Structure 1
Amino acid sequence: MAFFLAIETSCDETAAAVFTDQYEVRSNVVASQTRWHAPFTGVVPEIAARAHLRQLLPVVDSALTEAGITLKDLSAVAVHHTPGLVGSLLVGVAAAKMLAAVLHIPLLAVNHVVSHVFACRLAAGRDIFPCVGLVVSGGHTVLLHCNSAQEMKVLGGTRDDAAGEAFDKVAALLGLGFPGGPAVEREAALGDPTAYDFPRAFADDGRLAFSFSGLKTAVLYACFGQNARRMDPPPPGPKRANLAASFQKAVIDVLVLKAKQALRQTGQRRLAVGGGVAANQAFRQALEAMCAREGVELFVPPRHLCTDNAAMAAGAVELWKQKLFAPLDLDAQPTWL
């Protein structure tokens, strides 16, 4: 049996995991940075990179200990090298290269977005390919045509902001705190999703594209008025709850619609959805309803595999089997598309 160590530092979660060549996850350790970013209601790249420097080695040590192995037992080390915050990525890439060099084991370069799709395969415990993949997170909103765990073609993505970023920004507007996704979801549960008729970009367009910047502006105007300067967030009550619920509904409507269009355009009968926004219960329910109507099999990982983690890099096993090793001069790539 072969053991793999995976490292994830693409944004603001410091993570390490150990898994086998049979996709058995022996450990999956995640150290959150929320307490450092919360005062800014968003991720601060410099703070994130410095936090990774402090947390990565203890996290790796915890992952190995929990898995019951040592560094000498590893067959390879995998790392998310793209896409993400460049300073954060560099920390993980440097650590992975050092381990690969010192231990004389292969280095495996893994795409963070592709890993979010593979989290669905990991959770399912069986092959889910070919399928349409939808990754919705703080940094990415992208549709993929996935022929295999490694062969994925981009069908379309956001023209501006990611859906998860929109959740964070709207949470800040409404004074709900950080991270914005769970905060907006909690507030939305108290409101009426039909109270505000917010825009749904590209809803009447067959192109597989997303845009959430106009939606954020619409929430801003609904909250403070088109000619008013930015004021204090609305207090707890019906207005704040209705704004959150209507915003969330607009995002979900577009995501589900574009996923349906992608399924119809590709002819695929499987949909794999990953990323932090996939932890949203209302989104999950809307996906389930759409897939039931379309006769499509839906794969969504449990919530702990939706948010950034290292276990979802288990797709690196396929790279290892094919001997697709990365060079030791591997660099971080902040952009992918």
Structure 2
Amino acid sequence: MTLLAIETSCDETSAAVVRDGRVLANVVSSQIALHAEYGGVVPELATREHLRNLVPLAQTALREARVTAKQLDALAATRGPGLPSALMVGLKAAQAMAFALRKSFLGIHHHEAHLYSPWIGGDPPVADFASFQPNVSLIVSGGHTMIVHVEAELKHRLLGSTVDDAAGECFDKVAKLIGLPYPGGPALEKLAEGGNPRAFDFPRPMLNEPSDDLSFSGLKTSVRYFLRDHPEILNDGRRLGDLCASVQAAILEVLVTKTVRTAKRLGLRCVTASGGVTCNRALRKELAAACGKNALTLRLAEKNLCTDNAAMIGILAERKMLRGDAATPLDAEIHASWDLE
């Protein structure tokens, strides 16, 4: 099966060509520079950029894969969740192509695609579902943070999620409080590299709660009050690094501890992680250390597949079609607030 997949759920436009579990092309256009001026994603600007970039990116993906539109067997696109106007660009474009080519179309849940991105790897990327094992999956990004029990391939159950801010949102908001440029998370991570993570003791919200839910709003507020009382830190390079390292340590301890604890409670031997924040080097290191200590197998999404991309959309769509899932109607609408079921 040869499939063209499209992803436009937020501020990255992506098109990928997938054939028989292999990613033949995966092209991504980032909008970071466009939104930096505003300190965050502006939905209207994101939508305009998707409209400008989608057709050239799809053409590039097909050209890199050496595939023509007529050779496609199916099309797929992210149906949700995401920014409504951004989602519509990709979904409606893919539906229109499917109609014109008389091919099947499948709308994909963005988070479900993240669940299986740790099972894609190599150069060129190939899906390795032969190695699949039941796992606890951490999806952590700027908009979402959740812990999911993946019981079997294409069978999962949401165990817990953030009750307020996502982990990535906490990174970005703290970065904004200390005056770092957008996107704040990577900038904070860079400053944290030379800092002392035990210099300041920030709260670990819900760390010891029995549920699998998470919370990061209180941590952000704690940092805001700390900076109000200690504004001089912003002008002290060494202490600012310590502050960033301490905030990062608090976020990561919650993510790692709750994920590993959940896996142990369920008697599972595998942990996976995906989403944009999984690019964070310290998170990858802490997860590896915790899983090693508890004899757990760890599968991390490759960094180029952690952020939004069409390759993971295409791999999941192909898998679902091979299983016999019904095609998505060509007049189906977006699901901007689609819950992971």
TM-score category, normalised to shorter length: over 0.9
SS state at 2:235 partner: coil
Q: CA RMSD in A?
A: 1.6
1:185-334 correspondence runs (5 A) = 185-225=189-229, 234-235=234-235, 237-313=237-313, 314-324=315-325, 325-334=327-336
Q: Which runs of 5+ in 2 are unaligned?
A: 122-126
- In 1, Cα distance between the equivalents of 2:38 and 2:239? 24
- Confirm or deny: 8 A CA contact 1:168 1:180 kept in the other structure: yes
- In 1, Cα distance between the equivalents of 2:14 and 2:293? 37
- 1:91 aligns with 89
Over 3 Å counting, the alpha-carbon distance change for 1:335 and 1:222 in structure 2 is same
Q: Give 1:170 deviation, angstroms.
A: 1.3
Q: Give 1:47 deviation, angstroms.
A: 1.4
SS state at 1:272 partner: strand
SS state at 1:31 partner: strand
SS state at 2:120 partner: helix
1:161-180 correspondence runs (5 A) = 161-180=165-184
Q: 2:47 aligned to 43, 46, 49, which one?
A: 49
SS state at 1:143 partner: strand
Q: Which runs of 5+ in 1 are unaligned?
A: none
| Cα offsets for 1:64-117 (capped at 9, x unmatched) | 111111111111111111111111111111111101111111111111111112
- Confirm or deny: 8 A CA contact 1:201 1:210 kept in the other structure: yes
| Cα offsets for 1:262-298 (capped at 9, x unmatched) | 1022211111100011111110111011111111110
1:2-13 correspondence runs (5 A) = 2-13=1-12
Q: Give 1:233 deviation, angstroms.
A: 9.2
Q: Give 1:137 deviation, angstroms.
A: 0.6
- In 1, Cα distance between the equivalents of 2:236 and 2:180? 9
- In 2, Cα distance between the equivalents of 1:150 and 1:47? 34
- 2:37 aligns with 39
Over 3 Å counting, the alpha-carbon distance change for 1:129 and 1:82 in structure 2 is farther
- In 1, Cα distance between the equivalents of 2:64 and 2:233? 44
- In 2, Cα distance between the equivalents of 1:17 and 1:179? 25
Q: Which residue identity is paired with 1:66?
A: E
- Confirm or deny: 8 A CA contact 1:174 1:233 kept in the other structure: no
- In 2, Cα distance between the equivalents of 1:193 and 1:281? 14
Q: Give 1:232 deviation, angstroms.
A: 11
SS state at 1:190 partner: coil
- Confirm or deny: 8 A CA contact 2:40 2:183 kept in the other structure: yes
- Range that drifts further, 315-324 or 277-286: 315-324
Over 3 Å counting, the alpha-carbon distance change for 1:236 and 1:110 in structure 2 is farther
Instruction: Kindly indicate whether residue 23 of structure 2 is the aligned counterpart of residue 25 of structure 1.
Output: yes
Over 3 Å counting, the alpha-carbon distance change for 1:225 and 1:132 in structure 2 is same
- Confirm or deny: 8 A CA contact 1:132 1:146 kept in the other structure: yes
SS state at 1:202 partner: coil
- Confirm or deny: 8 A CA contact 1:116 1:275 kept in the other structure: yes
- Confirm or deny: 8 A CA contact 1:175 1:233 kept in the other structure: no
- Confirm or deny: 8 A CA contact 1:208 1:261 kept in the other structure: no
Q: Give 1:225 deviation, angstroms.
A: 2.6
- In 2, Cα distance between the equivalents of 1:9 and 1:221? 37
- In 2, Cα distance between the equivalents of 1:161 and 1:71? 41
1:135-174 correspondence runs (5 A) = 135-174=139-178
- In 2, Cα distance between the equivalents of 1:288 and 1:84? 30
Q: Which residue identity is paired with 1:318?
A: R
- Confirm or deny: 8 A CA contact 1:6 1:77 kept in the other structure: yes
- In 2, Cα distance between the equivalents of 1:236 and 1:108? 53
- Range that drifts further, 322-331 or 100-109: 322-331
SS state at 1:153 partner: strand
- Confirm or deny: 8 A CA contact 1:108 1:316 kept in the other structure: yes
TM-score normalised by structure 1 residue count = 0.94
Q: Which residue identity is paired with 2:335?
A: Q
